Structures are given as C-alpha cells and as structure tokens.
Structure 1
Amino acid sequence: MGKSPRLRTVEKYRPPYPLNKFPSGFALNLGKEIVYLLASRGTPRLEGTDWEEIFARLVGAKWQPSNVGLDGIILQQMAWGAKTVKNKKPSTVSRVRLISGRNSVSFSFGQDKVKHVDPDDMGEKVLSIYNERVAGVRKKFQHLRTVVLVKSDDLLELAAFELDTIMYDAKGFWWQWNDNDNLEGYDKAGDSHVFTWQPHGSQFTIIENVPEHRLAIRIRKPPLLDRDEVLDALKFDESWVEVIS
C-alpha cells in the first residue's frame, strides 16, 4: 500500500474562555452574589464551598464536592478547583499561599520517620504525592484550573484569578527544613519559596504569584435583611414545620 489513509482531525475541546478572561458580566454577578450573602447571612463569612457554588453558577458549570479538591466545578471537558485566601488588600496583593491538600508520606510511602531525613529526598516524595493527584484528575479532563478568591475580612474588597493546575518537575526545586521543622521547597531558577509541607498533619501549601491583571472589585456594604420580613414575604406558615421525634 503506497499511501497512508487520510484521517479526520478531531479538534480538541476549547475552554469556555481564555485563562483569567472571565465571561461578560462576571464581575457584576460576583458582586451581586456577595451582596446577597452579606445581606442574608449577616456576618462576612464565605467558606471554600460557598466560593465553589458561586463560581459554578457564574460560569454555568456544575458544582459537585470533590475528595481531592481539584475538580469540584465541572463544565464539559473543563474542571476547576476553588480556593479562598484572606488578605487586607486583595486588589494589590502579589503572592498568596494556597493550601493544596494533605500529602502523607506515611500513608503513601510507609515512611513514619520524618525528622532528620534528607530534605531533598523528602521534598521529592511530598511533591510526587501532589503530582499523582493532579495526574489522576487530568486523565478525566482536557483542561484543569484553580480559581482563587482573595477576600478582605469584611468581604467588601475581593480579587479573583485563575491558574493552570500543573504538575511540578521535582528536579527544579531544592528543599530545606526550617526552624519550625517544616519542609520548604525553593525554585532553583530564582531561589523563591514555592512550597511548604508540615509533617504534623501533612498539610501542603503552594505559594503562588498573583497575576497582575487579576479581577478586583469593591462592594458597598448592604443592609441586613430582616428575618421576619423575609418569612412574611414567603408567607411562612407553622404547618411547614413538622416535629417528627
């Protein structure tokens, strides 16, 4: 047979929008979500699951809690993990610390002895656990991102940005134990602090640079909704409540 057969090319799935180019109306709708939350909840409290649900609504995706924390928001072949971070000035912060799961070398490698262990060897193991988690999710989706909400204590200033969720080449980092017996990973190219791993609890943190062109908004504090007025508007009736035990 002289020639190879000509095949139809399958176009890869394109994300619904480019990285950090949020859909039209995203900023206003995010503001509306936070205004409603403040007016109905009364306290400036926004947890990670709140942000997951809000972001899913804003981009028309499906929210489903994820055990690995990397793919709780799904839209066709696209998935996001969502993180929240507190900061006094979300609009100008340059670096944030993202808690990225618990990487237990005891569970994954059967290694219980941690202290006085070679830091580079330990760092490679910790990083491999995270990479394996990312690889497992990437098998299911063509695109994987992390969407971060940086929030002030009163929720009146917010910043949002996205990062591609990647695996890290262990050869690009060196590690050391700090004075608190936590393991720190540094980028060999610039000696910048990138990772922190706490042996007690196995918490793994990634320090990320905030994109210069992050979305930042400021919100006017809304009045608190009156509980009785809301119940009256709903035409609440005592028959809605049934004591079953």
Structure 2
Amino acid sequence: MPSFEDDAGEGSITVEMVEAYDFLMKFIIIGESGTGKSCLLHHFIQNTYKEFSQHTIGVEFASRILKVGDRRVKLQLWDTAGQERFRSVTRSYYRGAAGALLVFDITNRSTFTSLQGWLDDARALASPQLVTVLIGAKCDREEDREVSWNEASKWAAEREIHYLESSSLTSFQTALPFLFLTRSILLAIESGALDPEKPGSGVSYGDRSLRRVGSSMSMWSGRSSGDYGERSRFSTLFAPAGGRRRFGLGSGRGRSGTCC
C-alpha cells in the first residue's frame, strides 16, 4: 500500500492510501503448533518463504485485498497459536469467522489425528455457515510423509470440506486456499445463502458501491489479478474432497530443506 511521509518539522506524518473493497471477510488459520500456519500466511501476504519462523504466541493478524472477477475482497486473517496453553485465548477469535484454513503437517501424523477437535471448535464458535478447507502442509517432503493423500482427502470428504496440499518452501498452492474460501463465500452471497448484513456471518459490505445487487456477479469474467488466472485454471487445481491430486510439485520438487 503506498504511503507518503512528511519529515518537515519535528515529527513525521504517514498517510496511507486506503484501497476500496466490496466485501470484508474474516478467516482463521487453525491447527497444531509447528504445522506451517504462519509460513503459509507469510507466503500469501509477502509472496516469499519465511526462513525462520517461531511459534505464534496467542494470535497474529494480517490483511490483504484480493480481486476475484470484478469484486474486491478484503481478507482479515487471524493466525492462531497451536499450543494447548493458548487455546482458551485463541478460541475467542473464532467468533464470526466466515472461513477457516485447517492445517496439518503431512510428515507428522499426530497433527492429523488431532484435526477433529480443531474442526469441532471452529464449527461451534465461528459463523454457522463456516467454509473450511483442509491443508496438508510441507508436501515438498514426500519422503517423510506419514499421512497419505487418500487418507486425508477421505477424512475431508466425510466432513464435507475440501482438501489440498501446499508447500511454502516451493510456493506450491499457497494462495489457492485463500482464493477458494473467498470464491466459495462470494458464491454463497450471490445465491442468497449468506447475508452479509446478518450479525455473525463473518462478512460485511465494503465501501465500494455495489452497482449490480441481485444480479450475477460475473466473478469469472476476464482474468483475476495477480497469479490467479482464469476460472478454468482454478477448477483444474481444485479437485473435490475425496478426489485425486492432479498436480505434483513440478519444478519445486528437488529443492532441499524443510518447509513450513
């Protein structure tokens, strides 16, 4: 976001140019400690790998505006600590969340077996229409895998949520979970299944004028901003829950090190 500083006089004044948006959505990022939640968020915001990442204490906040078709959506992103000692604090941030990114580490089975508790808390405390995506992080470490694609996708399908795998180290599918949740919620608004004016929905109207209320949003007319491309590209990257992975790591495979 552009800013301007005036260093005249004794102090400085920073004026930020605020970007307008159509909708504001609240997302939470949840899961056990060390699964790569903070690295995933950092990559989405900064488009870089977070080389050194410490455990989150309590909750960390970030925001970003996405353009999906002709709609601009501001995401409020709450990265919650995974340690049990912070759970009583972090649960309070679930309230009013429209979307949840549920993250586990494919190389650590214990982070997978604990997922049900995280999902139950989110569904009990967040918006009644919460949209959730399950993310298997660190998929660049295939040789250390402890949870198979089929097992994780079956778990997700049984709970009616989508599953994908990502790697912050190789930049594989780090933005897609956020885009998927955003698009799913926009479709719910368009269909009338979700009302942004209803308290606790996790969504509110932004300050851009909505000129075509009640008509089709045409979300996939033309290209989206950044690297998101067209609808056809999005649909090929997201298999339904329980489906098979369509893409490997591509050029990212073979890079050394571990990933968050």
Using structure 1 for the length normalisation, give the TM-score. Answer: 0.26
Structure with bigger strand share is: 1
Larger Cα-atom Rg: 1
Using structure 2 for the length normalisation, give the TM-score. Answer: 0.25
